[in-house]
Amino acid sequence: MKTAGLLLLAVMWEGILCQKKSDFVVTANKSVTVQEGLCVLIPCNFTFKATEILGNYAGGFWFIEGANIDIDNPVASNKYWLVSEKTRGRFKLVGDIWNRDCTLRIDDAMKKDHGKYFFRIKGESFSYSYKMKSSTEPFVNVTDLWEHPELCPSAELVAGTPVNITCTAPGRCSGTPPRITWTGTLNTAHSTRNTQSMNRDGTVTHASMISFIPSIGDQNKTLTCKVYYPVVEQSTNTTLSLNVQYPPGTPEISVIVFDGEGSSMEFQNQTSVEVQERSSLKLLCSVDSNPPSNVTWRRQDSVIGPEATRNNTLELTISQIHTNENGKYWCVATNEHNTSESHVNIIVEFGPRSGDGNNATCNSDPHQTKCSCVIQSNPPPVMWWLINKELVTGNYSNGTLNVSSITHGHTGTSTLTLYDSESSRSQIACISSNKHGAIFVGLTQSPENKETKPLSSVMIQGGLGGAAIMAVVILMILLLAFGVRKMRKGNKSAVGEERIMNEDNLIYAVVEDNRIQSPSEAAEKTAATSPTAMNSSVNAPRQVNENGDEFLYYANIDFSKLNPRSRPPAQHTEYSEVKLK
């Protein structure tokens, strides 16, 4: 019985001790981490015996672990005059001790602030340091400054549209304001403005805003925001690579022409490109835009070629181009900001050909024979008439015959009229050529009131020496086949111009298009058909003997005697005899 009473007394005494210890408790985070130069808030609450009185002059104090409360100054206190000079202004007791709040804030944290801290309360009737095991002594861990400023554009960067970019400093500190500066490679003018805003918890946000109007030239430029903390002499920065959006510029078009023999020629950013029929082409369109554009090829308002791509380039391949594929090819680039387009005009050139229907016909009556020759080619053809052994060129009239030649677009039309005695001629041929070839159409006169159709047709493909060279080739064929004895020249008119070579020299004529031509076009055609241009060879028809060996043909043409002659009288006829060697 006596033993039981002693045990009960011991239990009652232990309960009194536990109750006494639990009367004085501090509740706070066991450990907090703060970056050098930044700030940290340590929420804290404390309790004491209900019988104790704080009074109006109570004091709360924070000490670093190991401090002598009777000698050392506190790091923070509501009685700020007592605070250590090492922490004054940086460590603050921001809690209301009369509400039992002992919250501590550390601004401009330094490496030497690293350590454990305890709280002490001194009231009217008591004093107590919360260092007992039942209380929390927060540990402050100070690390290097690793956080970077936050950059935030007000909107997407679009060329020509004003924009603001805000840089927010790390930390939400009410201590010494950091210095915020901007650097970078912007091409455009800009302005900056620093701001600070108070938060509800008493902390402060420091920021800076830069305003500018981005341009296409600012794409991929850099903008750096630097934040410097003067108390600890530490800085941090963030660099932004500008992604400036802009509409597509004018598409650039390249045309590569393949001649079928392994060689090619490239034309870049040309408004028009001349190609020979059956050539193969590769059209490449490229454009600069951000975001990438949707690129398509169009012709005659229809999408052609491969499906649209969104990588700012698109290739179109045309194999063995035909005349019906002649015209403008448009490259159209579209993104969310605009649409841009450009074009290239593909001019398909081809040698003379008859086209649809009868290209050469003759109609006779008792008084006259009228022949018509219609030839298509691009460039327009040079045209002659061979009447028996007499060659007539250009626009010509002498009372016994009349020749009228004109071109319209890609079609050349020449009309021959023979009167009276001239109607007795029986051999008539129409000859046409350009730099890509020549065609010879022979006709034989039928009885009167009958229509004469082509008797024979020979086509020669060339392209190396221009229209004048092809004229020489045709005349050489005529010399071999018919033995030309006479040549007549036509009078110069609005649709033709002539050059005359007397004696053993060649007569030729160029029939011009009746449409308006620029000076540069006229100069190019004149140069292509002038005698000085006749210095190249053309591909003659290939012939082989019974052994498979090719025949070789040789010709020698002398233009040294070429002299322009004045226009003769309308009824005057010049003759020149050409002899075969």
Co-location of 521 and 437 in the same domain: yes
Co-location of 231 and 136 in the same domain: no
Tell me how far apart the alpha carbons of residues 121 and 60 are, in angstroms, rounded to a whole number. Answer: 5
Q: If DSSP codes are grouped into helix, strand and coil, which group holds residue 425?
A: coil
Tell me how far apart the alpha carbons of residues 163 and 193 are, in angstroms, rounded to a whole number. Answer: 14
Opening angle at CA 350, ends 345 and 354, nearest 5: 130
Q: Is residue 553 part of a domain?
A: no
Tell me how far apart the alpha carbons of residues 536 and 534 are, in angstroms, rounded to a whole number. Answer: 6
Co-location of 373 and 512 in the same domain: yes
Q: Is residue 541 part of a domain?
A: no
Instruction: Single out the residue of 188, 193, 290, 186 nearest to residue 240, CA to CA.
Output: 186
Mark 442-452 as b/e (b = at least 16 C-beta within 10 Å).
bbebeeeeeeb
Domain boundary among 111, 126, 143: 143
**Cβ(277)–Cβ(322) below 8 Å:** yes
pLDDT in tens, 208-261: 999 999 999 999 999 999 999 999 999 999 999 999 999 999 999 999 999 877
**Cβ(505)–Cβ(561) below 8 Å:** yes
pLDDT for res 173: 80
Mark 136-150 as b/e (b = at least 16 C-beta within 10 Å).
bbbebebeebeeebe
pLDDT in tens, 388-424: 778 887 788 887 889 998 888 888 899 998 886 545 5
Model pTM greater than 0.75? no
Instruction: Single out the residue of 367, 378, 379 nearest to residue 420, CA to CA.
Output: 367
What's the domain count of the chain? 4
Beta bridge partners of 253: 285
**Cβ(151)–Cβ(240) below 8 Å:** yes
Domain housing 213: 150-241
The CATH number for 105's domain is: 2.60.40.10
Co-location of 343 and 363 in the same domain: no
- What are the structure tokens assigned to 30, written together? 């066991």
Co-location of 395 and 487 in the same domain: yes
Tell whether omega for the bond before 291 is within 30 degrees of 0, i.e. cis: yes
Co-location of 135 and 160 in the same domain: no
Domain boundary among 127, 143, 159: 143
Co-location of 137 and 88 in the same domain: yes
pLDDT for res 147: 95
Co-location of 306 and 371 in the same domain: no
Beta bridge partners of 434: 437
Phi, psi (rounded to 5 degrees) for 225:
-105, 125
**Cβ(436)–Cβ(376) below 8 Å:** no
The DSSP secondary-structure symbol of 118 reads E
- What are the structure tokens assigned to 354, written together? 């008859």
Co-location of 396 and 376 in the same domain: yes
Q: Would you tell me the crossing angle of helices 466-481 and 519-529 to the nearest 10 degrees? A: 30
Strands (E), 319-470: 327-335, 338-353, 360-364, 368-378, 382-387, 390-393, 396-397, 401-408, 411-419, 427-434, 437-444, 451-452, 454-461
Tell me how far apart the alpha carbons of residues 511 and 471 are, in angstroms, rounded to a whole number. Answer: 12
Q: Is residue 540 part of a domain?
A: no
Reported as half-sphere exposure (CB side, CA atoms, 13 A), residue 8 has a value of 5
Domain boundary among 143, 175, 195: 143
Q: Is residue 551 part of a domain?
A: no
Tell me how far apart the alpha carbons of residues 277 and 487 are, in angstroms, rounded to a whole number. Answer: 33
Q: Is residue 7 part of a domain?
A: no
Co-location of 203 and 344 in the same domain: no
pLDDT in tens, 160-211: 999 999 999 998 887 889 999 999 888 878 899 999 998 887 778 999 999 9
Residue 475's identity, in one-letter code, is: L
Tell me how far apart the alpha carbons of residues 237 and 259 are, in angstroms, rounded to a whole number. Answer: 59
Opening angle at CA 55, ends 52 and 56, nearest 5: 165
Strands (E), 115-171: 115-122, 127-129, 139-143, 150-153, 163-168
Co-location of 221 and 319 in the same domain: no
Co-location of 85 and 31 in the same domain: yes
pLDDT for res 230: 94
Q: Is residue 557 part of a domain?
A: no
Phi, psi (rounded to 5 degrees) for 14:
-65, -40
Residues of the chain below pLDDT 50: 1-20, 422, 463-464, 467, 480, 491-581
Largest CA distance in the chain: 172
Q: Is residue 542 part of a domain?
A: no
Q: Is residue 578 part of a domain?
A: no
